[in-house]
Amino acid sequence: MILCVGVAADPTFLAGLHAVRAAGLDHEAVDLPSLALRGSVRIPLDDLASATIDTGRRVIRLGEAGAVWCRLLDVSAHAPAPRHAHAAAGHYQAFLRLFEHLPVRVMNRPLREATGFTKVLHAVALAAVGGWQVPRTCLTSDPEEARAFVADCPRGAVFKGASAAKTFARAYEAGDEARLDRLGRVPVLFQERITGPDVRVHTVGDRAFGEAIHSPEIDYRTVVGVNDYRPVTLPESVVRGCARLTAHTGTPLLGVDFKVDAATGEWYFLEANAMPCFEGYDRRAGGAITRAMAHWLAGPSDPPPVTP
């Protein structure tokens, strides 16, 4: 049995769940908001396999699960009452730890890839694993250091937030000079601008699916209906690097982002998202990503070893 835990209103979770169903795999689905409203979780600390999830309609025994597809979201802030908020927060924290240590195949263990909490550490550490270069980078809260870095970028610079919080990249323009004094209150990540297409690579185990995105904007996520999405044949070095990345991080599903220099053809690693929103890419790929996910979840009955 494959245990699927997430939020029914999340299109990405539903895409993975539908792939499991389409593959005809035995599964149980748990909607986190519904669980907070009417269910409960029991986790004996001396025997994780005997843990149970009571959805209010049925009891799911984790010892019967051969794999887990989890996309955990903390829904406590949206609960209708304090007791439901406390339940949702408790379930979220419990599942974070349970799925980290449960001795079955898990896509993805929620606490496994922690470098994403700071973008510079994340980029440098994971680029070394993949064998890739990164754009010239400056993380600073010093306005003068930022000015010097931008001045030394002949192709221009972009900037974005430095933490795990979702932010959008923007081109540094002359009008931003007046705002640099605000850096004293919060550091910002500056990078040399790479002009060319973005490439998103979704990895599922040792498989990789690439799509090039040509956009009129610096950050293609900020616009709808004007981007040009095209399948791309990935260089073997990128495929091998992505396979090393999933093995190193222990996260079989990753959304890996690159920029490709249009003038030189060089690839630059940006980041690897361990909780990617992949449904749009999967739809354009004819469902190839989610089919690979279902195949991975239905894989060997002997789980991979759980490493600390």
Three-state DSSP string of 237-304: HHHHHHHHHHHHHCCCEEEEEEEECCCCCCEEEEEEECCCCCHHHHHHCCCHHHHHHHHHHCCCCCCC
Q: What is the pLDDT of residue 303?
A: 42
> Can you read off the two tokens belonging to residue 62?
């984790």
Q: What is the pLDDT of residue 302?
A: 39
> Can you read off the two tokens belonging to residue 145?
């250091």
Percentages (nearest 5) of helix, strand, coil residues in the chain: 40, 25, 35
Going by their DSSP bridges, the two strands 105-107 and 59-61 should be labelled as unpaired
Least Cα distance to 194 among 249, 143, 132 occurs for: 132
| Fold classification of 2-107 (topology level) | Rossmann fold (3.40.50)
Q: Domain 136-192 carries which CATH code? A: 3.30.1490
Least Cα distance to 78 among 4, 28, 7 occurs for: 7
Q: What is the pLDDT of residue 305?
A: 42
Q: What is the pLDDT of residue 304?
A: 43
Q: Which residues of the chain have pLDDT under 70?
A: 114-117, 300-308
Q: What is the pLDDT of residue 74?
A: 95
Distance CA 307, CA 251 (A): 12
The reply to whether domains 2-107 and 113-135+194-273 share a CATH topology is no
Q: Domain 113-135+194-273 carries which CATH code? A: 3.30.470.20
Residue boundaries of the structural domains of the chain? 2-107, 113-135+194-273, 136-192
Model pTM score: 0.91
pLDDT tens-digit series, residues 116-154: 667 787 888 889 999 999 999 999 999 999 999 999 999
Distance CA 173, CA 71 (A): 38
Least Cα distance to 70 among 252, 242, 272 occurs for: 252
Q: What is the DSSP letter of 189?
A: E
